[in-house]
Amino acid sequence: MCGIVGYIGPRNTQDVLIEGLSKLEYRGYDSAGIAVYTDGGLKVSKALGRLVNLENKLEGAPLVGSVGIGHTRWATHGKPSDVNSHPHTDATQKFSVVHNGIIENYLELKDELIASGVEFVSETDTEVISHLVAREYNGDIVEAVQKVIKHLRGAFALAVLTEYEPDRIVAVRHASPLIIGIGENENFIGSDIPAILKYTRNVFILNDGEMALLTRDSVKLMTIEGNEIAREMTYIEWDAITAEKGGYEHFMHKEIHEQPRAYQDTMRGRVDESGKKVVLPDFHMTDEQIKNIRNVQIIACGTAYHAGLVGRTVIERLVRIPVETDVASEYRYRSPIVTPETLVIVVSQSGETADTLAALREAQANGAHVLAITNVVGSSIARDANDVIATLAGPEIAVASTKAYTSQLIAFYLLGLYFAQVRGTQTEAQVAETLAAMQALPEQVESILTRELEAKAHAEEFSSQKHLFFIGRGLDYAAAQEGSLKLKEISYIHSEAYAAGELKHGTLALIEEGVPVIALATEQALIEKTVSNIKEVKARGGVVLTICYEEDAQELLKSVDSVFTIPKTLPLLTASLSVVALQLLSYYASLALGLDVDKPRNLAKSVTVE
């Protein structure tokens, strides 16, 4: 995701900013920029692409000064480009702003500013902030920022610098992390610890709703309403690598834990203020086009394909349109039947997967409207698709996909509900009920994550086995397929996922004394049938761990060996909780086996060959 740095003090500001940004590169970004107060006033330099492009630019035109802010951008609103990268300024170039997060109501604010004569240069949500700060400024940058915050809805971490007060930087945290580093006669801002670790280990960690005013020799912490806060400094003991992983041992573990935030970010700005209706502000398909869809084809690879399996059920149940799901490497070679009324949805975390990109082009060549669900807004798939729904999971570094998958599920829920609204296949009350259940998901995921030790104990028990089976019906089967892939790729344990009812048609022959079977049993309408299949496994000596709702645990324990419970949600949403349990099981199995969790053998994060 985006990165923020800020510096005020005697060092060469440009160097400190670039050094800080380089330490945030691991988070992924598509452009970078800095603003420094120089002899000639506030100056900005930005460049698309790697940080080295910015460094090259600065070599020819250095920004010399003792206060500045910098940013690495990971596009969410507007494609990656020089002009869309941060810092953003107002029309007079006297105010500059860097921002992490999403301003949900930016379109509203932008319209209002345009009506008052402001000209926008970028497509970003952030630019509204720089114009608003300029409008509200009356000699005190803190007051101006406080006034602006009142207009903003969404998530934001900000650093703001003005030419009028070059001895001060303002930092704000609202649902997007920010820390303040304390030095001697110098102070720092960082969106993440690695950005400032080279210079100081003493930090103030801002909480949501707090801001800081930095000068060279002081830091004042306050609430966004302006009430001063007294806080103890935190001493950071992490080494640089641990800091990149946010204190976690592995990126995968960190990314599993980032899911509650990824769910919120992917929903942010896509549910109206009443909380009862889906809005997709950047969606191009007209209502008429949506009403004319005759069939949907979902195409993807690996984990993204598994998200598509859930997406199929979601769209079929909510919208009653026939949906096929296909792996991308097969799709283009099977002469797919596509008509102008076919909607093709490609799903890809990276947006660069060669098979998926080729399938997208095949579908477009056949006249389909292609919608991409992707985590990388500036990717090839995002650029080529006719429509994009960005999953806002933030960069995923571990090869094993976790938060990208669950964010893809959130995108499918939103899309299904949106289509259902347009086509009238769900009542307003039904849509509102599903959205309310979705809002509860982040907290429910948190509650699963508090029970990691339980998952660890289960994983340690089966990690010495050579084979393992996952079974489930309906959406449990879709989630089982993802659980099986996760386990295979990072623990190298051979596993298969089966539709629970299909096991007896052949694979049951492989079940013998001690073979572990993970049975997902959350689909309430199918639970009795799943239990019958579990009994078939038990009768052959299989050892069954069941993922189920708390309220079903007692009953299920009569038939199975152990349970891992998850909080209850609507049947449609169940995979977004059960999969978190499966991710933990895989993670701890890999750990128990002493394997390289983040970089499993033979695999790459982005597969750009067919």
Helix, strand or coil for residue 472? strand
- Closest listed residue to residue 128, CA positions, set 115, 142, 143: 115
Please give the residues from 325 up to 354 whose contact with ligand M6R meets the rule CB under 6 A.
348-350, 353
Stretch that binds ligand M6R, among 6-14, 220-228, 254-262, 295-303 (CB under 6 A): 295-303
Identify any residues that bridge with 497 across adjacent strands, giving them in sequence order.
470
Angle of CA points 326, 510, 474, to nearest 5°? 40
Cα–Cα distance for residue pair 144/138, rounded to 1 Å: 7
Residue 19 Cβ vs ligand M6R, minimum distance, rounded to whole Å: 30
Cα–Cα distance for residue pair 510/370, rounded to 1 Å: 41
Nearer to ligand M6R among residue 325 and residue 356 (C-beta): 356
Phi-psi region of 98 (alpha: psi -120 to 50; beta: other; left: phi over 0): beta
Cα–Cα distance for residue pair 548/358, rounded to 1 Å: 39
Residue with smallest beta-carbon separation from ligand M6R: 302
Out of 344, 400, 543, 545, the only residue in the binding site for ligand M6R (CB under 6 A) is 400
Cα–Cα distance for residue pair 26/468, rounded to 1 Å: 34
Stretch that binds ligand M6R, among 185-193, 398-406, 528-536, 583-591 (CB under 6 A): 398-406
Query: Encoding tokens for residue 502?
Result: 């299909």
Residue 87 Cβ vs ligand M6R, minimum distance, rounded to whole Å: 30
Out of 304, 318, 519, 589, the only residue in the binding site for ligand M6R (CB under 6 A) is 304
Nearer to ligand M6R among residue 83 and residue 327 (C-beta): 327
State the angle between helix axes of 452-462 and 575-592 in degrees (0 to 180), rounded to the nearest 10: 60
- End-to-end alpha carbon distance in the chain: 28
Site for ligand M6R contains 379 (CB under 6 A): no
Cα–Cα distance for residue pair 128/124, rounded to 1 Å: 8
Nearer to ligand M6R among residue 312 and residue 473 (C-beta): 312
DSSP 271: B
Residue 538 is among the residues annotated as catalytic for this protein: no
# chain residues binding ligand M6R, by CB under 6 A: 16
Cα–Cα distance for residue pair 419/295, rounded to 1 Å: 13
Out of 4, 399, 563, 573, the only residue in the binding site for ligand M6R (CB under 6 A) is 399
Cα–Cα distance for residue pair 572/316, rounded to 1 Å: 11
Nearer to ligand M6R among residue 131 and residue 306 (C-beta): 306
Query: Encoding tokens for residue 100?
Result: 């992490």
Cα–Cα distance for residue pair 366/369, rounded to 1 Å: 9
Please give the residues from 481 up to 520 whose contact with ligand M6R meets the rule CB under 6 A.
489
Stretch that binds ligand M6R, among 215-223, 250-258, 300-308, 541-549 (CB under 6 A): 300-308
**Site mask for ligand M6R (CB under 6 A), range 579-608, x = bound:** ------------------------x--xx-
Angle of CA points 508, 514, 516, to nearest 5°? 65
Stretch that binds ligand M6R, among 68-76, 296-304, 416-424, 551-559 (CB under 6 A): 296-304
Site for ligand M6R contains 302 (CB under 6 A): yes
Nearer to ligand M6R among residue 226 and residue 333 (C-beta): 333
DSSP 87: P
Nearer to ligand M6R among residue 353 and residue 484 (C-beta): 353
Cα dist from 496 to 364, 468, 472, 589, 590, whole Å: 34, 7, 12, 16, 17
Cα–Cα distance for residue pair 247/239, rounded to 1 Å: 9
Residue 380 Cβ vs ligand M6R, minimum distance, rounded to whole Å: 11
Stretch that binds ligand M6R, among 70-78, 106-114, 145-153, 397-405 (CB under 6 A): 397-405
Nearer to ligand M6R among residue 350 and residue 463 (C-beta): 350
- Of the candidates 79, 198, 504, 605, the residue annotated as catalytic is 605
Residue 605 is among the residues annotated as catalytic for this protein: yes
Site for ligand M6R contains 179 (CB under 6 A): no
Residue 518 Cβ vs ligand M6R, minimum distance, rounded to whole Å: 17
Nearer to ligand M6R among residue 45 and residue 353 (C-beta): 353
- Determine if the peptide bond prior to 87 is cis (ω within 30°): yes
Which residues here bind ligand M6R, judged by CB under 6 A?
301-304, 348-350, 353, 356, 399-401, 489, 603, 606-607
**Catalytic machinery residues:** 2, 605
